[in-house]
Amino acid sequence: MDDRRQGLVESDEAIFKKAVVAAAFSPRLTAVLNEAHRILKLLGAWPIIVHVGEESPATRIRLEEAIDRSHFHDHPPICIVQEGAPADVLIDVAKQYDADLIVAGALAKEGLFKYYLGSVARSIARHAPCSVLLFTEPQTKPRPIERIHCAVEYREGSKKAIKVAARLAGSLQTKSLYFTHSFTSNEIKEEKQHPKGPDAVRRIYQQEDEKLNTFIKELGALDIPYETRCLYDQSLSTTLDFTREIKADLFIITGPMDRFSLWNRIFPQNLELALQHLPCDLLLIR
């Protein structure tokens, strides 16, 4: 595994231009807005704050008061109140405004005083036409993002994920930025039983390390420090286990392109359950 300190060039061009921010009336609304404000400011995205519910003067006033209490108070966003199914409304507004990011936090489970990333977040993650940022534990005073983990696949979408990770790491001055690639290999299984197995396994890892570093270096100069790891995918949880191991604050992954994608390997069926047990915030790149 490659521990070399490296970096990426940081571009002044905005990666995201417009972002829909879900504003559910919950005890964590201010926290969600403040977390969203920090990230959108760094990424250069204009906020479109959306509350899904009945349009009325009282609702509008409550939403505006919530925004005034948040870090958005000096940056008046577009505010929308619209009835409908939450995921459908957020996705429709994103399409209407040609937004390239949807931001959501802990959402209320109907009838219970419990907040969780559940069915709404699952629908957004599965069906949104754009990138999605999900906060698992939003804080009114956002905590430092000290460790970012970006899972890399050798496809076009991962190039954008790498650029976003580099931009955030540079702007936030994170302590650690990790790029990983998860791979499978029948050779490793076979070589582990061979007398010269350890040497062969090291060669396989070296080859995978070279592929990952070449893929990243093709994107530009090396200005932002980062580390790379190639992970032998022994189970569906290998990538998430690494995220937990390094105590990442943000996990960045490319959205599902086909049934063989890393996203579908990590979240094969019960995405709702998986989202409830995420070790940190999740940024899904499309």
The verdict on residue 72 lying in a domain is: yes
CATH number of the domain encompassing residue 217: 3.40.50.620
The verdict on residue 2 lying in a domain is: no
The verdict on residue 3 lying in a domain is: no
Whether 239 and 160 share a structural domain: yes
From 109, 134, 159, give the residue that closes a domain: 134
The verdict on residue 102 lying in a domain is: yes
Name the β-bridge partners of 153. none
From 134, 160, 182, give the residue that closes a domain: 134
The verdict on residue 124 lying in a domain is: yes
From 66, 101, 134, give the residue that closes a domain: 134
Whether 204 and 232 share a structural domain: yes
Whether 104 and 164 share a structural domain: no
Whether 182 and 262 share a structural domain: yes
Whether 125 and 168 share a structural domain: no
Whether 69 and 106 share a structural domain: yes
Domain that holds residue 71: 18-134
What separation, in Å, do the N-terminal and C-terminal C-alpha atoms of the chain show? 28
pTM for this one? 0.87
Domain count of the chain? 2
Whether 211 and 120 share a structural domain: no
The verdict on residue 26 lying in a domain is: yes
Would you give per-residue pLDDT tens digits along the chain (286 residues)? 444 334 444 445 678 999 999 999 988 899 999 999 999 998 889 999 999 999 999 999 999 999 999 999 988 789 999 999 999 999 999 999 999 999 998 544 433 333 444 567 778 888 899 999 999 889 999 999 999 999 999 988 899 999 999 999 998 889 999 999 998 877 665 555 555 567 778 888 899 999 999 999 998 855 789 999 999 887 767 898 999 999 999 999 997 766 557 766 666 555 555 566 678 999 999 9
Tokens 């709702």 correspond to 272
Whether 30 and 74 share a structural domain: yes
